[in-house]
Amino acid sequence: MPNRRLTKDELSGLALPLLSHIREKIVSLSRGDVQLAWAIRRKIYKELSFDERRKPPQRKKLKAQKRKEQGNKCALCGGELTARYAVLDRIEAMGGYTKENTRLIHRDCDDDYQRSKGYT
Ligand SMILES: [Zn+2]
């Protein structure tokens, strides 16, 4: 299933006004304190990314489960995974980081796969 994308009307009528609202709210809440505005913006950014990607300890745990389940082999090429630089890949982006929707793959295999799909 392809990723859900916003329609032109959803983008202009929903997402962009919400983004403007958040930006205005950060400015008003920080009352000219540039460092506070930065800290609020960073916190909002992080929390929203966790909404999509889950928190790092959850991803780390899932990565370890997938490594064990796959016998430490890359799900794409079947080669041995290194201790680092393995990518927890979502089979469908909208499916989230669940056991059923992820696979552990080499970073290079991920790059090749992304390129073959036209994502990079
Ligand atoms: Zn591989």
Per the CB < 8 A criterion, the answer to whether 111 and 117 are in contact is no
**What is the per-residue pLDDT for 76?**
96
Give dist(CA 62, CA 67) in Å, integer. Answer: 9
For range 61-68, the mean pLDDT: 96
Per the CB < 8 A criterion, the answer to whether 105 and 75 are in contact is yes
**What is the per-residue pLDDT for 118?**
81
Give 9 Cα–ligand 1 centroid separation in angstroms.
40
Q: What element of type H or E holds 37?
A: helix 34-53
Residues, CB within 5 angstroms of ligand 1 (ion)? 74, 76-77, 79, 106, 109
The per-residue pLDDT for range 90-112, each reduced to its tens digit, is: 999 889 999 999 999 999 999 99
Per the CB < 8 A criterion, the answer to whether 61 and 101 are in contact is no
The per-residue pLDDT for range 9-49, each reduced to its tens digit, is: 999 999 999 999 999 999 999 999 999 999 999 999 999 99
